[in-house]
Structure 1
Amino acid sequence: MKKIIAGLMVAAAMLTFGCSGRNAAFGVVDMRKVETEAAVIKTTKEDVTAKMKELKEQMDKDMAGKQGEEASKIAEDYSAKAQLVQSEAQNKLKASLDTALNQVAKEKNLGAIMIKEAVPQGGTDVTKEVIEKMK
């Protein structure tokens, strides 16, 4: 999930920065700090964990006494449900991050916001503002 968010953020920053002009001011965000401090990420992880636990318990009940193809089919169904839960969580986090980044960029008049670790120097650190705006 971290790699997906980071990759999407770099791509969005590159597109925005490339379209804004060469001398545009840019921001940087520490994604590690965002991942550890943003409340929406913590609650989403907790929700995913709880839903996965429920799915596992339900699957165990449905698998009781089942064997062979029937058990395999049940396992596939629950695997698909688990993937859907994770996908929905990733989409929620991506939307939250995108919204926060856009708001901060607009408020601070920044041409782009890039991942801090990918920028050797320069840029305005907007990590705190992004964390506050993620919902």
Structure 2
Amino acid sequence: MRLIEYTAKYKDYLDNYYLADDTFSRSPQESLLQTQRGKEFHRILAFNQDDLVTFFILDEGKDKYDYIDRADSLLLRSFSTDSRYTKKGFALQALKELPAFVQKKFPHIGTIVLGVNEENTKAIQLYKKSHFTDTGRKYKGRKGWQLIFELPIH
């Protein structure tokens, strides 16, 4: 599993990314359009060999303060796995690679925070398996209540 920050040379990979259900997460194509102007948005691609299997954004901007009161945090958002690659362990692999990736690319970061829709039980289990912990706090997001999870970076 390789985590790579998006550049234009990966556009074809994103164009071919398939998300069958966007109930809980924006498509990478939509996320790319919404984040292309902001320097605080880092679009991350997770590759298994030559296949783009997972996409997410690490957000250094002010939105993270809706979830946590720490300047040394990143907000993980728009996490998805290409529908052709679900149930193969790639999402878990990508999340397990995340702490080392963040330490290398963002050495000033102490924690990663995310909001997961309280009805998205599969994602909640995935984040727990990836060592994210439920903070017990909630945030009212665009698609309902979000449970706030946190992962300290060591």
Asked if TM exceeds 0.5, the reply is no
TM-score normalised according to structure 2 size: 0.22
**Structure exhibiting the larger radius of gyration computed from Cα positions:** 1
TM-score normalised according to structure 1 size: 0.24
Tell me which protein shows more strand as a share of its residues.
Answer: 2
